[in-house]
Amino acid sequence: MKSFNQVILLGNTCTDTVLKDLPSGMKVVNLVVATNQSKKKKDSDEWETFSDFHYVSCWGAQAEFAANFIKKGSQVFIEGRLSVNSYEDKDGKKVRSVNISANTLNLLGQKKEAEVIAGQATLPVDKPPMNPDYKDF
């Protein structure tokens, strides 16, 4: 039986990007992307908005693109796959994290900004290493 694993986000980045070189030679940028939802309050006609925060990894050429063009507050469209990773923290405790590995990364926003990077929005995706180091999230 086949399975399907796809995540689509449209949100804003919460931090500036930092390009990292892993020991394997692979480049990675880890983003935190906020998305908003609205929900009607009980017993009221008022709506409340709350945010979810998603951890996203961009690899290879996409990581370099993110490092050069994406800043804190940038609106991004991301399509990728969900992965659950585990590692031991500095105290030796096993930690599990949920992460999105980006297949597509598009910078959205103002027309002028989009025109500057239009030719670079569809870069090839490099495969992440089998056991990436997620401890920096």
Task: State how far the Cα of 112 lies from the Cα of 110, in Å rounded to an integer.
Answer: 6
Domain extent listing, the chain: 7-38+46-120
The pLDDT score that the predictor gives to residue 42 is 85
The pLDDT score that the predictor gives to residue 41 is 86
pTM value is 0.74
Domain 7-38+46-120: CATH superfamily, name plus number: Nucleic acid-binding proteins (2.40.50.140)
The pLDDT score that the predictor gives to residue 6 is 96
User: What tokens were used for 31?
Assistant: 């983003």
Long-range contacts at 123-126 (CB < 8 A, ≥ 24 apart): 123/61, 123/62, 123/65, 124/60, 124/61, 125/59, 125/60, 125/61, 125/62, 126/26, 126/59, 126/60, 126/61, 126/62
Instruction: Check pLDDT > 50 for residue 121.
Output: no
